[in-house]
Amino acid sequence: MAMNGRERILKHLAGEPVDSLPLMPITMMFAGDQAGIPYGEYARDHRKLVDAQLQVAEKFDFDYVSVISDPAREVADLGGKVEFFPNQPPAIDEAEALLTDKTKLAGLKLPDPLAPGSRMFDRVQGAALLKERVRDDKLIEGWIEGPCAMAADLRGINTLMLDFFDDPAFVQDLMAFAVEMEVRFAKAQAEAGVELMGVGDAAASLVGPAIYEQFVWPKEKELVDRLHELGLKVRLHICGNTSRILEGMGRLGCEIVDLDFPASVAAARAAMGPDQVLLGNLNPVKILRDGTPDLVRETLATCHQEAGPRFIVGAGCEIPRGTPEANVQAMTDYARSHRP
């Protein structure tokens, strides 16, 4: 008898036998398009996000569903400037970053993730509705921003890069604020039914290994440890080329580490050891969107071989809008026809 998606993922993470490889690609705009929902509505109305996630997960037999949509929920609830578009993701206006004046950090209040009408609460509501509708058939993933990503969102990415040198104490304070906020956000999602927490820390790929070890890794580690204290499993997702920080990523203790395509799966396995579960890392555009089903399967086979048995099928990042259904189905075919 085939396992359901939730069982397949949890058993695989525990190192127990499973009937096939778990399948956990990130879908956002692809999911919205599949459901015929403009992305502006997907990102702002949890009911539409849930409808789209369920449709795409059922159609392609994904093992999980997720409330991921955009990185601007926390910033919006803190009072930052966020632009919304009819059919594109919300965008944070770096030119008018909330902490352009860094002295404002001292007076910044942690937002309530359960505040009615807030964007954070909309995500929490999405998690609760997914729990109601999928029950235990698929694993439910929440989402929060990592400390470096949130610092960049609040300060502006270019300004933050200077802050590491000009005002390291401020950076420490800013990331500490981010961790406190994200733990609160994660707790609310966990209480709504989330079992796996995605942590997106894209900006961490832009710092060198020395800055990563001094500033970013300790705060990522604190965040991961506190998520574990909440009973959550953790999926780390850092977009970009993480080749120089792979070893540190592996020391965080996350149940799943996503690899974007610029980082080698073989290098990650060498750096992180045999037990770390790796997910990825198809080039989302060149292979998944613009390739063929055969190329998708061949590339996944290489990823699987390099990762070994502690592997989950997925792309390097989000499945792009416009990806042919046949190419996504090829991911499903590979996962369902292979065991770890």
Q: Tens digits of per-residue pLDDT, 167-181?
A: 999 999 999 999 999
Neighbouring CB atoms inside 10 A of 116's CB total: 8
Q: How many domains does the chain have?
A: 1
pTM of the model: 0.97
Mean per-residue pLDDT, 72-79? 98
Mean per-residue pLDDT, 80-94? 96
Mean per-residue pLDDT, 16-24? 98
Specify if 302 maps to a domain.
no
Which pLDDT belongs to residue 159?
A: 97
Above 70 in pLDDT, residue 249? Answer: yes
Mean per-residue pLDDT, 283-305? 98
Specify if 1 maps to a domain.
no
Specify if 325 maps to a domain.
no
Specify if 261 maps to a domain.
no
Above 70 in pLDDT, residue 58? Answer: yes
DSSP 3-state assignment of 1?
coil
Cα–Cα dist 82/96, whole Å: 9
How is residue 103 written in tokens? 């002295």
Residues 6+ apart with CB under 8 A from 15: 275
Specify if 39 maps to a domain.
yes
Which pLDDT belongs to residue 135?
A: 87
DSSP 159: H
DSSP 208: -
**Domain extent for 182:** 21-244
Cα–Cα dist 200/239, whole Å: 8
Specify if 160 maps to a domain.
yes
How is residue 237 written in tokens? 């997702």
Q: Is the dihedral of CA 211, 212, 215, 218 positive or negative?
A: negative
Which pLDDT belongs to residue 2?
A: 80
CATH number at residue 97: 3.20.20.210
Average pLDDT, the chain: 97
User: Pairing between strand 233-237 and 139-145?
Assistant: unpaired
Which pLDDT belongs to residue 1?
A: 61
pLDDT bucket at 225, cuts 50 / 70 / 90: very high
Specify if 7 maps to a domain.
no
Which pLDDT belongs to residue 198?
A: 98
How is residue 244 written in tokens? 């120089």
Specify if 266 maps to a domain.
no
Q: What are phi and psi of 70, to 5 degrees?
A: -170, 160
Mean per-residue pLDDT, 71-91? 97
Above 80 in pLDDT, residue 284? Answer: yes
Degrees to nearest 5, angle at CA 257 with 255 and 262: 175
Q: What percent of the chain has pLDDT over 70?
A: 100
